[in-house]
Amino acid sequence: MADRDDATSSSSYTQTDRDTDTRFAHKNLGWPWLLALLLVPLLLAAMLAGLRGGDIESDLKDRSLSDLKAEGIDADGIDLEFDGRDATLKAASGAGLSKADLDKAKDVVADVEGVRVADVDTAGLADSGTGAEPGDDPAGEPTDEPTAEPTEEPTEEPTAEPTEEPAACDVATVQGELTRILGADFIKFGRGKGDLAGSGATKVAEIAPLLAPCTDAAVTVTGYADLYGKDGQLPMLRALAVKNALVEAGVSGDIITAAGGGEGEFANRNQNRYAVIEIG
């Protein structure tokens, strides 16, 4: 009987050991799977965040370069890099840009929707001047366009009597030529500027000979500003600048009306600093 009890006891111990080993083995096998279930979603989230960050940077860079070109800035001369939503601008090798050129480009990039900060890397600049324009915010944030009191409209100089009979003026034909010359961006002005220069002055010089024969027509010059300058004097100052340039080029001032049109109609505020010419 004792032998039987010993055998039964030994068999019971062996079965208990096996059950314990099985549960321990199952318990140990569960931890790697639990860790995998926790780590895999985290790794996937990190990969998706990295891909999304790259898409955001690419989109901001493309839209910034587009706005630079719309503003008449040579984007090929600028190295533009994004770290998330923060932009860094640097003069490209051999571009010969000045600090003023780079600061102007920085202001354009800072206005792009979605850009948080725009900074300038001064390495490789053509000069070491600050290049800051009056009214610029040193931190890179755009400030309101200054509103200047308009000066009195200058006395129009009398136009010389033509020695030959002027060419006939066909209003429809002239308006078609005006539309072609003005193009999609019209007569552009600089930020906070009411004086005519650059490509805007070139366009007015090309338009003047078309309007000079139209002594019986009605010509309207309308100036516009962006959101921050629409309620000031900039729209009228820009219209007067174009009118005065036309008069100096031989167009009768009696047929020209200058008007301020408030805020331009473009979605991008950088494109709303312009003037248009219409004939009727």
Question: What is the distance between the alpha carbons of residues 137 and 210, in angstroms, rounded to a whole number?
Answer: 42
Per-domain boundaries in the chain: 29-143, 171-279
3-state secondary structure of 205: helix
Summarize the confidence of residues 203-221 as an average pLDDT: 94
Q: Residues 1-53: pLDDT tens digits?
A: 444 445 444 555 455 555 555 555 555 556 666 776 777 777 766 665 555 55
pLDDT at 39: 76
pLDDT at 260: 94
Q: Residues 233-252: pLDDT tens digits?
A: 999 999 999 999 999 999 99
Q: Residues 150-193: pLDDT tens digits?
A: 666 656 666 665 545 445 789 999 999 999 999 988 999 988 89
- pTM reported for the whole predicted model: 0.44
Tell me which CATH code domain 171-279 carries. Answer: 3.30.1330.60
Question: What is the distance between the alpha carbons of residues 80 and 67, in angstroms, rounded to a whole number?
Answer: 13
State how far the alpha carbon of 243 is from the alpha carbons of 47, 155, 246, 256, in Å.
Answer: 58, 12, 5, 7
Helix residue ranges per DSSP H, 71-170: 99-110
Mean pLDDT of the chain: 78
